[in-house]
A = this chain, B = another copy of it.
């Protein structure tokens, strides 16, 4: 059985298999070693995520260790906060989760995953920065106030809470909010509508996730390859390699 990495998150995860998406790039990177499993739910915040956790990662009948198929995943990326950080008095208020609750919810999600699978790597990813101009230009819902429903400052507070949770739990985190803003023109280069990622933005997430996984021993050099590589097959006696 090939091991698995689950991608659990909101629309930035759900869309991660679109052209050049970070999820598809991970699946390509690990094409002979890991199954990358998509569990992205557009629009979801951590409050809703907590409500569906048991359904997204069902326990097996026998024992309780392992997801529905009985296989303990190598890793789970947890990538929420962009919706929690919607402002409570703007047009997407129904997705808003207060900062304190966001932190508690994230702790609860990590705790659930670590209890279910003590050996699985849980990797947090902070929400990306927000380009408020982009958010006004590409509204998702009617916006009578004419004010952005997300701000970069609010996203930064949630990113900070996410980093704090990683620290408290002793698990790795990709601080996307900070990382992206280190580059010039991040607003347009990495974000296509002020929130969702361009192909270059996706590339950053992919590279940061691969780096974090590698630091925890989950790399192409270490993970076993599924079946002989063509480069290892003896052209004079190919079947020999399949009889091992």
Contact = CB atoms under 8 A, between A and B. Distances in A.
Interface in A189-244: 199, 226-227, 229-230, 233, 235-236, 238-239, 242-243
Interface in A1-29: 1, 14-15, 17-21, 23-25, 27-28
A98 B17 CA distance: 37
Contact of A17 (B28, B41, B236): B28
Nearest to A199: B19
B69 A229 contact: no
A165 to B, nearest CB: 22
A71 B1 CA distance: 13
A162 B32 CA distance: 26
B17 A52 contact: no
Nearest to A66: B69
Contact of A32 (B14, B32, B69): B14
Contact of A227 (B32, B41, B243): B41
Contact of A37 (B28, B35, B229): B35
Nearest to A233: B43
Nearest to A43: B230
Contact of A48 (B28, B40, B238): B238
Q: Max chain B CB contacts within 10 Å: which of A23, A24, A235? A: A24
A113 B41 CA distance: 32
A58 interface: yes
Interface in A56-77: 56, 58, 68-71
Given A41-B226, A52-B227, 11 more contacts: A1-B58, A14-B32, A17-B27, A21-B24, A24-B27, A42-B229, A47-B239, A55-B227, A69-B70, A94-B236, A95-B238
A38 interface: yes
A56 B19 CA distance: 27
A236 B44 CA distance: 15
Contacts of A14: 31-32
Nearest to A229: B42
Closest 9 CB pairs of A and B: A43-B230, A69-B69, A24-B24, A94-B235, A51-B242, A17-B28, A17-B27, A1-B68, A19-B20
